[in-house]
Amino acid sequence: MSRQPHFKPRLPRIWMFSDERLGASFLPALAQLPKGAGLVFRHYQLELCERRALFVRARRIARARRIVIVLAGSDQLASAWRADGSHGRAPHPSRGLRTAPVHNLRELVAAERAGADLLFISPVFVTRSHPGSQPLGRRGFAALANGTKIPAVALGGMTPRRARMLKYAYGWAGIDSWLPARTD
């Protein structure tokens, strides 16, 4: 039985990233994302069977809400797990949506050469997921985003208000911004 070919879905402007430190606690927030948003599913540190089980739960929610789901990893794994695309640095032909992380000019050039459809430029602002990293700030983000024809999504300490302040941002993404306020 042949599989249906993957398609390249329209590019969402609003994204959520999953993260190991969240476990499955991101699933209720995923169910509240606007229809047509996107999810980059990471959870690299989980054992493969646990990671896949959590991905299947996330994919079920994503499909019900028409949320694009991209799996961090190879195109082959994304295809096998029926994701809408893959997220990562490795250059390879992709039948689905191909997103890439960008932290500097070198990574921007590499993502362009790898054929990325969408870039996640980070960290724009201070963020818990990159402790101790020097954020790009508005100017650093603008310099990278304006230097490419690929749509650039801002990530790192993002909120809707901060996203509106960024010139050249195609959209924005977050981890903690989608979760209930923390008290720690």
pLDDT value of position 19 = 82
Across the chain, what does the average pLDDT equal?
A: 88
Distance of CA 34 to the CA centre of its chain: 15
pLDDT value of position 83 = 96
Give the CA angle between residues 136, 23, 162 to the nearest 5°: 30
Tell me which CATH code domain 14-178 carries. 3.20.20.70
Burial readout 141-162 (b: 16 or more C-beta within 10 A, e: otherwise): bbebbeebebbbbbbbbbeeeb
pLDDT band of residue 184 (cuts 50, 70, 90) is very low
Is the confidence at residue 64, as pLDDT, over 90?
yes
The pLDDT tens digits for 31-55 are: 999 999 999 999 988 999 999 999 9
The average pLDDT across 95-104 equals 92
Rg from Cα positions in the chain? 16
pLDDT value of position 22 = 80
pLDDT band of residue 178 (cuts 50, 70, 90) is confident
Is the confidence at residue 7, as pLDDT, over 50?
no
Domain ranges of the chain: 14-178
The average pLDDT across 66-81 equals 94
Look at the pTM and tell me if it is higher than 0.85: yes
pLDDT band of residue 176 (cuts 50, 70, 90) is confident
The pLDDT tens digits for 113-172 are: 999 999 999 999 988 776 777 899 999 999 999 999 999 999 999 999 999 999 899 999
